[in-house]
Amino acid sequence: MAENGTLHDAFIDELRDAYDAEKQLTKALPKLAKAASSPELRAAFEAHLEETRGQVNRLEEVFATLDEKVRGKHCDGIEGIIEEGKSVMEEDFDDTTMDACLIAAGQRAEHYEMAAYGTLVAWARVMGHTEAASLLQETLNEEKAADKKLSSLAESGINREAADLAHPNGNGQNGNDEAPAKKKASTAKKPARRR
């Protein structure tokens, strides 16, 4: 990297990173949608896929307002988050538990994007790139809405259903309670967490 790089250079770098991240997400979101059992969750991933395609185009507009060539730069952060999502999809979970895990994976991606766009908006504003700032703010709003949508799906039944499968009697803390929890010997240890 060139010495004496300015905040403007860092800003362009971050835009390239975001551009690559969005492109990676346009490939990952269809996989999340396909793995979802809840029709509402699937629809949410599909809707955000469409939005994400729009975000790719919006970033191209941002580059244009700055007279910059459209260019991506590999985003390692989102790659890691997507990789973790892929591992979870390979797990042998029941449908509702898988849905809860897909929401968790999706929310990690949304929070990563919220952090990235929050910075981009702040930097665009402080440097007076007002058109870029308002375009980036639009995307930030979409990421926040996508995150909220996932929370509301989790909280409107998916987590509850998954928790009931984990604790059919509704009173255990140690998982898979076949019978009402009864304290065994005081030396009883918690079972190892499933990995």
The residue length of the chain stands at 195
DSSP secondary structure string for all residues of 134-159: HHHHHHHHHHHHHHHHHHHHIIIIIH
Site stretch for Zn ion (CB under 5 A), options 24-32, 94-102, 127-135, 165-173: 127-135
Does residue 74 bind Zn ion (CB under 5 A)?
Answer: no
143 near Fe ion (CB under 5 A): yes
Which of these ranges, 48-56, 82-90, 99-107, 181-189, lies near Fe ion under the rule CB under 5 A? 48-56
Q: How far is the CB of 63 from Zn ion (least distance, A)?
A: 13
Which of 53, 62, 104, 57 shows the shortest CA–CA distance to 81?
Answer: 104
Contact in structure between 38 and 99 (CB atoms under 8 Å): yes
Q: Which of these segments, 86-94, 107-115, 126-134, 168-176, binds Fe ion (CB under 5 A)? A: 107-115
Q: Amino acid letter at 65? A: T
Q: State the nearest-atom distance from the C-beta of 119 to Zn ion, in Å.
A: 13
In the complex, the smallest distance separating the C-beta of residue 142 from Fe ion, rounded to whole angstroms, is 7
Residue with tokens 């930097």: 123
- Which helix (H) or strand (E) is 20 found in, with range? helix 7-35
- Number of residues in contact with Zn ion, rule: CB under 5 A? 2
Residue closer to Fe ion (CB basis): 70 or 166:
70
CA atoms within 13 A on the CB side of 192: 2
Q: Provide the minimum distance between the beta carbon of 22 and Fe ion in the complex, in angstroms, as a whole number.
A: 5
- For position 96 contacting Fe ion by CB under 5 A, the verdict is no
Residues 118 and 113: their CA atoms lie apart, in Å, by: 8
Site for Zn ion contains 8 (CB under 5 A): yes
Q: Residues interacting with Zn ion, by CB under 5 A? A: 8, 127
